[in-house]
Structure 1
Amino acid sequence: MRGLIGVFVLFLAGEVLGRTGLVDRSYLPPSSVVLVHAGRLLVNADFLRDVLFTLGGWSSGLVIAVVIAVPAGLVIGSVPIVNSAARVLVEFLRPIPAVALAPLVVLFIASQSEMERTLAAYAAMWPILMNTIYGVGDVDPVARDMARCFGLRPSAVLLRIALPSVAPFVATGVRLASSVALIVTISTELIYGSGGGGLGQYIFAASGDPDGTPDVFAAVAITGALGLALDLLLTRGERRAFRWHFDRLGKNG
């Protein structure tokens, strides 16, 4: 309810500012106008294709990040020598914004979709990697030692003991990385798009139209709603799949 109240207050503020003339309507249209344009966009086939294009780059980048980050996190978190050797490199690369690497990536990748996928995977990899490393450190040492006492090989201990315990942390990392990947995908389309499509390209094209301000705000609102929907979906899936983990933490709900 509090969340709905917050949305209503924001909607009302935008409506008042636009209707009273406190802000020029060419810069900030009333919220109702933006809502009408958003409804029109949602039934526009071309716009929906742009949404699907963005979701394609987002999802493929996220999958690539999972495939790279989870095994790397398991190894780095499990092997002290690898951890000490890789820690400096990880802390050096992690703060670099993915969009800042776009001028370098564009020298090797000309396709917009492949460029989006690469940058989204790079940005999404770090939350998943760090959560996986943290999850390995949270594995019960008693269970690990017991498995070794029963003669399980290190690979079997990793797969049978560590991986199930790490899975909830990986899910949390994927949820955090989802928003990052979506931001980077749309930013790449907005700045370096080459006419391939996507929400970023639509926003860029609409911003060049003298009458396109309502469409810009409508597309931005839809983008925010899309990010919220993806986060809620991943959160619900995380809590359903790992209810035992949240019960243990006392955060079931």
Structure 2
Amino acid sequence: MTRARLLRGAIGVAGFIVLGELFIRFVVNGQLEFPPPSTILREAVSLPADSDFIAGLGATLINWVTGLLIATVIAVPAGVLLGALPPVERTIRPVLEFLRPIPSVAIIPLAILLIPVDELMKVSVIVYAAVWPILINTLYGMQDVDPVAKESLRSFGFGPLAVLVRVSLPSAAPFMATGVRIACGIALVLAVSAELLAGGVAGIGVFVNLAGSGNRTDLMWAATVWAGVLGALANVLLRAGERRLFRWHTMRTGAAEQ
């Protein structure tokens, strides 16, 4: 099934590229300053030889991974705590529901004003954006734990901590992993967006800005392609890790067939 999905995905991407090439060359035909996909892909393939781009790619990766790790360290314990203590969750829920819908990109200008250190500012907005999907998924995972399993363990004399460690955390772990996977893509979006809006020394967003100032639309889109590739690879790796670690969960929910 995995190979079939990959093949269908590859065919879909190839078809999209071919249609885009035909549209740009024969429908638009010079009426719009937009490079055809073949030009974008050629520049994307050559970008790894550009030292400036590699430095920017490394800077984006560091901020992306750092922000995602910090968000995970914050959100997972917070979600477990709220899920284990329903009265606390009901008290804090209005605050969560107020903050969660705020577009993360919208806080970048505020972060620029409040946090003078460039890298700290970028990591901070990544953390803010990535915390929510991990926190909410962890919370829902804790609430989805089978109450019969918890009561069964309590009937054998196990205390709340043992029930949490032996039942609640293993049951909620797949939800946590899904939250991290969703947050991974959001974190990458914020990493590049912060670079686009705040600038800096290096980063994919900084490279895009420089290419745009030189009217190199092909380089702008080539760098964007690399951002998409990074996000797709991260999603594939995390999904594969979920299937391997939580095979029992995918078999129970049927997620392995989706």
Alignment partner, residue 122 of structure 1:
128
Structure 2 counterpart of 1:232, from 224, 229, 236: 236
| Structure 2 residue 65 is matched with structure 1 residue 59 | yes
- Deviation, 1:149, is 2.4
| Structure 2 residue 205 is matched with structure 1 residue 203 | no
Q: Supply the distance in 2 between the matched residues of 1:150 and 1:43 (Cα, whole angstroms).
A: 63
- Deviation, 1:26, is 6.7
Point out the structure with the larger helix share: 2
Q: Supply the distance in 2 between the matched residues of 1:61 and 1:79 (Cα, whole angstroms).
A: 27
Q: Supply the distance in 1 between the matched residues of 2:232 and 2:120 (Cα, whole angstroms).
A: 25
Q: Write the mapping of 1:78-97 to structure 2, written as runs, cut at 5 A.
A: 78-97=84-103
Deviations 1:68-114 (A, max 9, x none): 11111111112121011011011000001122112322233222221
Give SS of 1:27's match. Answer: coil
Output the amino acid matched with 2:218: P
- Deviation, 1:236, is 0.6
Moved more, 5-14 or 177-186: 5-14
Alignment partner, residue 241 of structure 1:
245
Q: Supply the distance in 2 between the matched residues of 1:72 and 1:23 (Cα, whole angstroms).
A: 54
Unaligned ranges ≥5, structure 2: 1-6
Contact kept in structure 2, 1:112 and 1:189, CA below 8 Å: no
Give SS of 2:256's match. Answer: coil
TM-score between the two structures when normalised by the length of structure 1 = 0.93
- Deviation, 1:138, is 1.2
**Identical positions, percent:** 45
Q: Supply the distance in 1 between the matched residues of 2:211 and 2:29 (Cα, whole angstroms).
A: 20
RMSD: 1.6
Give SS of 1:196's match. Answer: coil
Task: Quickly say closer, same or farther: Cα 1:252–1:20, change in 2 above 3 A.
Answer: closer
Task: Quickly say closer, same or farther: Cα 1:19–1:147, change in 2 above 3 A.
Answer: same
Alignment partner, residue 158 of structure 2:
152
Task: Quickly say closer, same or farther: Cα 1:112–1:23, change in 2 above 3 A.
Answer: farther
Deviations 1:167-190 (A, max 9, x none): 110000000110001001100000
Moved more, 108-117 or 181-190: 108-117
Unaligned ranges ≥5, structure 1: none
Output the amino acid matched with 2:228: G
Give SS of 1:76's match. Answer: helix
Q: Supply the distance in 2 between the matched residues of 1:147 and 1:177 (Cα, whole angstroms).
A: 33
Q: Supply the distance in 1 between the matched residues of 2:255 and 2:184 (Cα, whole angstroms).
A: 22
| Structure 2 residue 218 is matched with structure 1 residue 214 | yes
Q: Supply the distance in 1 between the matched residues of 2:218 and 2:254 (Cα, whole angstroms).
A: 45
Q: Supply the distance in 2 between the matched residues of 1:218 and 1:178 (Cα, whole angstroms).
A: 21
- Deviation, 1:153, is 2.6
Moved more, 122-131 or 4-13: 4-13
Contact kept in structure 2, 1:112 and 1:196, CA below 8 Å: no
Q: Supply the distance in 1 between the matched residues of 2:223 and 2:80 (Cα, whole angstroms).
A: 39
- Deviation, 1:25, is 7.7
TM-score between the two structures when normalised by the length of structure 2 = 0.92
